[in-house]
Structure 1
Amino acid sequence: MEAPITVDKLRFLIYSFKEKLWLKPLVFCVLSLIAVFIAKVVDGTSVAEHIPEIKSESVETLLSIMASSMMVIATFSAGTMVNAYASASQSSTPRSLSLIISDDVSQNALSVFIGAFIYSAVGITAISHAFFEKAGVFILFCLTCLVFAVVILTFIRWVDSVARLGRVGSTLLKVEHATGRAISNRIEAPCLGAVPQDEIKEQGSHAIYTNEVGYIQLIDIAKLHKWAQTNGNFVNVAMLPGEFVTPDKPIAFVKYNADFEDIISAFKIGEARSFEADPRFGFIVLAEIASRALSPSVNDHGTAINAISSITRLLLIWYKNAEQDSRQNERKNIKPKTQDNGKPHYKYDAVSVPALNVDDLFDDAYTSIARDGAANIEVAIRIQKSLNTIKACFDRVDNTFVKAANKLAIQSYERSKMALSYEEDVKRLDKVFKN
C-alpha cells in the first residue's frame, strides 16, 4: 500500500507545475479545440431549429482577424516576459526568477493569446470546408465573440501588470508573499507533522546517505512514516528542506538496519532551493536583493530598507500566531492535545524532524545586509529598529527569537560602528541601539 500524499507534497507539485511555462498554454489550446467542436455538436440537436442564421463569411472574417493578430500579440507578450526575466535577474537576484516565471497574470495572458490563435486557426479551417451547418455557424459566432471579449479583458489586465513585471518593487512583494506562505505552512506543521527532534533521546545507530548532490526540496514524511510502521522502525530525519546534501552527509538515521531505498526516495533533491517548503530561502533572496541594491554600482538604499521591512513583517508572522494561540488558550482554558499516556500527539509519530533553527533564520535575513550596509547610516538604523521591534514583540512569547535578534543587533551595531566615519552618525546609531 502506497503512503498517502501529504499536503506538503501536493503543494510542492502544484508549485512545480506553476513554474512550467508550457502547461497553461497547452490547457488553453485543448480548450480552444474543444470549443470549436462544441459548435458541431449543436448541429445535431433540436436547438438548431430555433437559432437565427449567421453568414459563414462574417464568422470567417472575424476568425481571420483574430488569427492574424493573436500570433503577433503572443510573440510580443513572450518577448516582454523574457525581458522581464532578464530584468529580474539583473536588478534583484536570479533566485527570484522562479517567482517571476510563475506569475499568473503573464502566464494567463500568454495562454489566452496562444489559445485564441489555435481556436481561430481551427475555426477557419473547419468553416472553410463547410464543416458546420446553420446552428454550428451561429454557435461558432457566439464563441468567437466570447473569445474576443476574453482576449480584450486579458490584454487590458496584462498591460496593467506588465509594467511592474520584473521590477525590484514587484519582485520584493512576490518574494515576501511566497515566503509568507512558506512560514504559514511551517507554523501549521512546525516539524512537518512529525515528532520534534529534541524530544528523541536516541538518534539511531544506522546512518542513511544518498549519492545525489543538491538541495532538499521536499521530504515525503508520509512515506517515511509508512516505511517505519511497516518495518517496525523509527526514522530520525537529519536535514530539513533547503539544506545542501552531499554523499558524506547523512540525511536520516534509523534504529535497525533494513532496506533504505524507500527512505532515500522520500527525499526530493534538486539543483535549486524551493520557496514553497523552505522558509529560509525567502529570507536569503530578500537579503540578496538588499545587498545588490547596496552595491556601489546601484547605490539604492531605499530598496534595502524596503527589504528589511519585508523581513520584519515576515518574522512577525510567528509572533502573531504565538500571540493569537496564547490568547485563545487563556480565554478557553485549552490544554495541548495529548495521547492517553500524556505525551503530545503527532500525526507522524514514527518519524522525527529537527525544528527550524532560529539563529540560522536571522543569519539568513540580516547578516549580509548588515555587512554591505554597515557604512550606510539609514540602513544601519533601520536594521536596529527592525530588531528592536522583534525583541519587544517576542519578549512576551518566545525568548529564542529575542536572543537571536539581540545577537544580530550587536553584530550589526559593531559592524556599523567600525565602518561609520562621521561622529554624528555614530551618535545617531547609539541612540537606536538597545542591548
Structure 2
Amino acid sequence: MKKSVLIYFNRLREQLWFRPLIFCIISIIGALLARFADGTGLKELVPNIKTESIVGLLTTISSSMLVIAIFAVSSMISAFSAASNTATPRSFKIVVTDDASKNALSMFIGAFIFSIVSTVALENGYYGDAGRFVLFVFTLLFFASVILTFLRWVDRISRLGRLEHTISQVEQVALKSLENHIKHPLLKGVPISNTINTSVFVKPLKIGYIQFIDMDSLQKLAEAHHITIQLNSTPGAYVHYNSPLVYLSTAQGLDMEDISKKINEAIRIGSTRLFEEDPRFGLIALSEIASRALSPGINDPGTAIQIIGSQVRLFFLWNTTYTKEEIDLHSYNRIEVPQLPTQEFFESAFRPISRDGANNIEVMLRLQKAYASIATINHSEMQAIALDFSETSFHRAKQELTFKSDLDLLKEKSLCFSLETPPE
C-alpha cells in the first residue's frame, strides 16, 4: 500500500501545476500568519513600518512576478519541445520533472500570490505594528528568494532541453530503475516453480503496458485464499484482454470474478511505460536517441557514440556487489515471478544502434569496444550474449560497409574474432 501511494504521489509530482499550487497555499498562509505577531509583546521591540513602504515593495513584486512567471512557462515549454524533437518523445516525461524549473515557476507564482494577498490585507488594516514588521520581513525574504531562484533558474534553463543534458537525465533515471532491478530481479517474489497448472489464469481488464505491480496486495490476497500466484509478465510488458495476466495454483473455492477484480487492481496497466518500474525502458529511450541521431536527416554519429558510452555505464551496474540487506530477500513467498532475460536488455540497448549505425565505421568500432568492455563483467550469461551481439553487429556492418580497410579494421577490433569462446 505504501508503494502504491508513493507511485501515485510521484505521478502527482510530475504534474506542472502541483508544486505551484503548494507554493501558493504556503504564500497565502504566510501572508495571513503575520497578523498573529500583533498578539505578542513584539510591538514594543520592533520599529513602526509604514504601510506605504510595504505596499510599494509588494507592488513591485506583483507587477514583475506575473511577467516572469509567464516567461518561465514559455521557456520551459520551449525546452520540453526541444527535448522531444532532438532526443525522443519518451524523454519528455523526464525533462518535465526538472525540479529547478518547477521550483522557479512555483516561487514566481507564489511570490505573486503573496504580494496580492498581503496588499489587500494591508490596505484593509488587517495588520498592527508588529504584524506589519513581520510582513515586511517576510516580503524581504520573498524578494531575496526570488532573486536567488531566478539566477539559479537562468543557469538551469540554458541547459534544460539540450540534447546532452537530456541524455544525462535519461541515463540517471535508467540507472535508478536498473539498480533496483538488479537488487530485486524477482520483485522480492520467488522464482517460477513450474508446478502451477497454467489452465487457471486471470485475464487483464485493460489493454496496455504493465506499469506497476502491488506485490504486497497480491501476497495478502494469496495468503487469504491459500493459493500461489504466478505472474505471467513484469512491468514493461504489453498485455491484452486474451493474454494471461497471472496464473493461480487452484480455482477451487474461489470467487473468480472477485479474485480477477482484486488482481487487476493490484496490477496497474496504462497506455505508456514508466521509467521507475520498467528496467528496460531507460535503455530503450537512450537507443531511440541514438537511432534518431543516426538517421540520414540528422547524421550525428557523435551522439550515438555518446549513447553507447551511457549504455556501457548502465551495464556495469551488474558488476556491482550488493550486501545481503540490499539484494532480493524473497519476502513474497506466495508470488512466483518470471526472470527477465538478460538478452532483452542487450536488444533494448544495442540492437537499434547496431542496425541504424551499420554503415558508420566510427559507431561500429565504438560498439565493438562496448561489447568487449561488457564481456569483462563477472556475469557468464552477459559475456556470452556480448560475444553473440559482437558477431551479429559485425555481420550487419559487413553488409553495409563497402570500403575493405574499414571492414578489416572492424574485424580486427571485434570481440567475436578476438575470443573463440566466451571468457570465463
CA contact (8 A) 1:88 1:171 kept: yes
- Tell me, what secondary structure is at the counterpart of 1:348? coil
Alignment of 1:9-28 (within 5 A): 9-28=4-23
2:49 aligned to which of 39, 50, 54? 54
CA contact (8 A) 1:233 1:256 kept: yes
CA contact (8 A) 1:15 1:276 kept: no
1:42 aligned to which of 37, 40, 44? 37
In structure 2, distance between residues paired with 1:173 and 1:255:
44
Question: Residue 304 of structure 1 corresponds to which residue in structure 2?
Answer: 304
Alignment of 1:231-270 (within 5 A): 231-257=225-251, 258=254, 259-270=259-270
CA contact (8 A) 2:209 2:272 kept: yes
In structure 1, distance between residues paired with 2:67 and 2:161:
22
Question: Residue 361 of structure 2 corresponds to which residue in structure 1?
Answer: 377
Deviations for 1:137-190, whole angstroms, at most 9, x for unmatched residues?
A: 111110000001111111111001101111110110000000101012112222
Deviations for 1:336-355, whole angstroms, at most 9, x for unmatched residues?
A: 99xxxxxx962000101112
Question: Residue 372 of structure 2 corresponds to which residue in structure 1?
Answer: 388
In structure 1, distance between residues paired with 2:107 and 2:396:
52
Report whether the alignment pairs 1:361 with 2:358: no
Letter matched to residue 224 of structure 2:
T
Distance 1:59 1:203, change over 3 A: farther
Report whether the alignment pairs 1:409 with 2:406: no
- Tell me, what secondary structure is at the counterpart of 1:142? helix
Letter matched to residue 318 of structure 2:
W
CA contact (8 A) 1:205 1:256 kept: no
Report whether the alignment pairs 1:32 with 2:16: no
CA contact (8 A) 1:5 1:222 kept: no
1:121 aligned to which of 110, 116, 125? 116
| TM-aligned CA deviation for residue 408 of structure 1 | 1.4
Alignment of 1:184-195 (within 5 A): 184-195=179-190
Range with greater deviation from structure 2 (125-134 or 63-72): 125-134
CA contact (8 A) 1:33 1:118 kept: yes
In structure 1, distance between residues paired with 2:124 and 2:406:
80
TM normalised by structure 1 equals 0.91
Gaps of 5+ in 1: 338-343
Distance 1:11 1:196, change over 3 A: farther
Question: Residue 426 of structure 1 corresponds to which residue in structure 2?
Answer: 407
| TM-aligned CA deviation for residue 47 of structure 1 | 1.9
CA RMSD of aligned residues (A): 1.7
Alignment of 1:107-256 (within 5 A): 107-197=102-192, 199-202=193-196, 204-256=198-250
- Give % identity: 38
| TM-aligned CA deviation for residue 17 of structure 1 | 2.2
Letter matched to residue 314 of structure 1:
L
In structure 2, distance between residues paired with 1:162 and 1:39:
34
- Tell me, what secondary structure is at the counterpart of 1:272? coil
Deviations for 1:118-145, whole angstroms, at most 9, x for unmatched residues?
A: 0011111111111111111111110000
| TM-aligned CA deviation for residue 11 of structure 1 | 4.5
TM normalised by structure 2 equals 0.94
In structure 2, distance between residues paired with 1:392 and 1:11:
37
| TM-aligned CA deviation for residue 433 of structure 1 | 0.4
| TM-aligned CA deviation for residue 204 of structure 1 | 4.1
Letter matched to residue 315 of structure 1:
F
Question: Residue 70 of structure 1 corresponds to which residue in structure 2?
Answer: 65
Q: Which structure 1 residue ranges, 4+ long, deviate > 6 Å from structure 2?
A: none
Deviations for 1:354-376, whole angstroms, at most 9, x for unmatched residues?
A: 12221111101001111100001
In structure 1, distance between residues paired with 2:162 and 2:8:
27
CA contact (8 A) 1:214 1:246 kept: yes
- Tell me, what secondary structure is at the counterpart of 2:230? strand
In structure 2, distance between residues paired with 1:353 and 1:309:
31
Letter matched to residue 360 of structure 1:
E
Range with greater deviation from structure 2 (12-21 or 221-230): 12-21
CA contact (8 A) 2:196 2:248 kept: no
CA contact (8 A) 1:11 1:276 kept: no
| TM-aligned CA deviation for residue 407 of structure 1 | 1.8
In structure 1, distance between residues paired with 2:10 and 2:178:
15
